[in-house]
Amino acid sequence: MKEIYFSNTEYNDILNQLNQLMQEADQIAVADHKVLLYQILQLFDSIHREPLARIQEALQKNPDLKREIESDAAVEKLMSLYDLLEVNVNSNSQDEKQVAFIPEDQVMMMQVPKKKDWLELGDVSDFEQNKLYPKNYQKVNFIISKIGTDVFAIQNQCDGSFLPIDQGKIENHVLICPWHGCQYDIRTGKAVDESNKKIEIFPVEIEDGKLLKVEIAYE
């Protein structure tokens, strides 16, 4: 197809610049700014993906036109980036040899950063030893437990299950799930049976030796 706005080389340069900018954006330190940028990119993705999918569906009715359009390197790249085209990686056509586009698996995608809040949960002396206290914040369910002079915060959900485990028990820093009998080290969140099971732990601070604070990460 005819090159209208950019040559294939210029188009490839634009993709390279975009990839670099995505990598730089992924380093944004302020979580709120990063989340906002990610949401904007998601909406751009949606408003492009839907019409492209409709165009592809319409082209199914005209196979000759479909082949002509999809044979263009720039169109093929766009459709494949949106998972709307199965790219023939074994093709040896002359057009594909002339254009060195960035492979899709090398295009950087931003990870959704989690927001973090420090929760004040009151006087640490009010918590009884070896007792499980279920808490919830921003749809994050977690458990507080005091063992000796230490306090731990851990996910209130067995790995691979939606069931809460605050009705379980603590034995020597081991949290035992009441449903499955799974055992987790409350200090690390890792299963004690050397399996790959693990549940999330949350940072804990005791301010001025009294105020219990827990940092919760959420989407």
Same domain, 13 and 70: yes
Measured CA to CA, the distance from residue 8 to residue 16 in angstroms comes to 12
> Does one domain contain both 71 and 161?
no
Residue 1 within a domain: no
Residue 106's pLDDT is what?
47
Are residues 136 and 179 part of one domain? yes
Of 46-50, 122-126, 184-188, 192-196, which range is least confident? 46-50
Domain count, the chain: 2
Q: Are residues 208 and 120 in the same domain?
A: yes
pLDDT tens figures, 69-109: 878 877 777 777 666 654 443 444 444 333 334 444 444 45
Tokens describing residue 112: 């959704």
CA distance 190 to 34: 30
* 140: β partners: 137
Q: Domain range holding 26?
A: 8-106
HEC per residue, the chain:
CCCCCCCHHHHHHHHHHHHHHHHHHCCCCCHHHHHHHHHHHHHHHHHHHHHHHHHHHHHCCCHHHHHHHHCCHHHHHHHHHCCCCCCCCCCCCHHHHHCCCCCHHHCCCCCCCCEEEEEEEEEHHHCCECCCEEEEECCEEEEEEEECCEEEEEECCCCCCCCCCCCCEEECCEEECCCCCCEEECCCCEECCCCCCECCEECEEEECCCEEEEEEEEC
CATH code of residue 130: 2.102.10.10
Please identify, among 65, 87, 106, the residue that sits at the C-terminal boundary of a domain. Answer: 106
Domain limit, last residue, from 73, 89, 106:
106
25 in a structural domain: yes
Tell me if 2 is assigned to some domain: no
My answer on whether 68 and 132 are in the same domain is no
Are residue 29 and residue 76 in the same domain, yes or no? yes
Same domain? 122 vs 101: no
User: Residues 131, 186: one domain?
Assistant: yes
Give this prediction's pTM: 0.51
Same domain, 128 and 184: yes
* Residue at 56 is within a domain: yes
> What is the tens place of the pLDDT at every residue in 52-70?
778 878 888 888 888 888 7
User: Do both 212 and 119 map to the same domain?
Assistant: yes
171 and 188 part of one domain: yes
In a domain, 45, yes or no: yes
Asked if 22 and 46 sit in the same domain, the reply is yes
Q: What is the pLDDT of residues 150-181, one digit of tens each?
A: 999 999 998 888 788 999 999 999 999 988 88
Buried b (16+ CB within 10 A) or exposed e, 1-29: eeeeeeebeebbeebeeeeeeeeeeeebe
